[in-house]
Amino acid sequence: MEIEILKKEIIIQNMKKEAQKITQELHNNFNNLKSINNDNEFLFLIKNDYNNYYQALINQKKQQQIYLNNLSKYIQNTMLYNGLTKNNLISAQKQHEQILQQLNNVKKDLDIFITDNNLQCNN
């Protein structure tokens, strides 16, 4: 009879140890999930910051594009309607070419930023 009681006590002790082990594993898993959740929230915030940064760059490039287009039109109108001397006309044409090159560069940058931003948003 005493042996039966000892066997039952051993079984109960083993069950308690197993329950403690399972409880500890659940606690560890819960802490891991909290950590992963915090990491995901942090990554989400970083992604939003990058999206905001890209959007600001896109807006800046669009403003540059508008400014350079207006400047290009102004120089064209000046060359056409203000009767410039030959030297002034040559200078204005060079400036106009430089502005068009800058405008082309801005358009390329804008295309890259928009494409990158679209890729980031889709991921």
Q: What is the DSSP letter of 82?
A: S
> Does residue 45 sit within a domain?
no
- Residue 19 falls inside a structural domain: yes
Domain carrying residue 111: 51-123
Q: Are 89 and 76 contacting, i.e. CB atoms less than 8 angstroms apart?
A: no
Distance CA 114, CA 107 (A): 10
Residue type at position 113: F
User: Do both 28 and 55 map to the same domain?
Assistant: no
Task: Write out the chain's pLDDT in tens, 123 residues.
Answer: 677 878 888 888 988 899 899 888 988 888 888 888 888 888 888 888 888 888 888 899 999 999 999 999 988 888 888 877 888 888 888 999 999 999 999 998 888 878 876 666 665
pTM summary value: 0.61
60 and 108 belong to one structural domain = yes
**Which residue spans within 1-123 are E strands per DSSP?**
none
Q: How many structural domains does the chain have?
A: 2
Q: Given this model, what pLDDT does residue 119 score?
A: 63
The reply to whether 74 and 122 lie within a common domain is yes
